[in-house]
């Protein structure tokens, strides 16, 4: 199985449990690894035969930008569900970074894997 990845996709959204977080938009960063078979696309040289990472990015920018979850766990799970159900991907690893969420920490977030591991 092959992996198509998309790293550091920055999206502004409402995320958090505190009142002040519900009133502002914060930037989350997504790193995605998506399992797919690229052999058909490599042979045809056609975007129609592969996972279109631009389409994935556009869909997630729309979804995450419009969402208002309290927990990064919920948001990350929903992102994985979208990728698996809408983009013919058998496995996905999603890393969501909510930079600045913990004082003195450079990064904080969650990593999940869903689907059948390649």
Residue 105 falls inside a structural domain: no
Tell me the C-alpha distance between 43 and 62, whole Å: 32
Task: Please report whether residue 15 resides in a domain.
Answer: yes
d(CA 55, CA 34): 13
pLDDT at 100 over 90: no
Of 50 and 106, more confident: 50
Name the residue among 4, 9, 7, 90 with its Cα closest to residue 41.
4
Domain assignment present for 68: yes
Q: What whole-number distance in Å separates Cα of residue 76 and Cα of residue 105?
A: 20
What are 101-117's pLDDT values in tens digits? 778 888 889 999 999 87
pLDDT of residue 55: 98
Which residues are known catalytic residues?
Answer: 98
Residue 54 lies in a domain: yes
Residue 6 has pLDDT above 80, yes or no: yes
Looking at the domain assignment, is residue 111 inside a domain? Answer: no
**Spatial contact of 55 and 48, defined as CB atoms under 8 Å apart:** no
CA neighbor of 64 nearest in space, from 19, 118, 6: 6
What is the average pLDDT score of the chain? 95
Its pTM stands at 0.94
Percentage, residues of the chain above pLDDT 70: 99
Residue 22 three-state SS: helix
Looking up residue 52, the CATH number of its domain turns out to be 3.30.1130.10
- Contact partners, residue 88, CB within 8 Å, separation at least 6: 36, 51
Residue 43, domain member (yes or no): yes
The pLDDT tens digits of the residues spanning 16-47 come to 999 999 999 999 999 999 999 999 999 999 99
* Structural domain containing residue 30: 2-99
For the chain, how many structural domains are there in total?
1
Residue 114 lies in a domain: no
Is residue 104 in some structural domain? no
């Amino acid at each position: 199985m092959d992996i198509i990845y998309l790293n550091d996709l920055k999206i502004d959204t409402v995320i958090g449990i505190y009142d002040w977080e519900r009133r502002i938009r914060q930037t989350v960063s997504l790193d995605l690894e998506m399992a797919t078979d690229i052999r058909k696309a490599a042979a045809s040289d056609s975007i129609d035969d592969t996972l279109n990472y631009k389409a994935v990015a556009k869909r997630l920018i729309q979804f995450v930008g419009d969402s208002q979850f309290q927990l990064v766990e919920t948001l990350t799970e929903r992102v994985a569900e979208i990728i698996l159900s809408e983009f013919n991907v058998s496995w996905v690893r999603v890393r969501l970074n909510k930079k600045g969420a913990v004082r003195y920490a450079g990064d904080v977030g969650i990593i999940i894997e869903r689907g059948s591991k390649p």
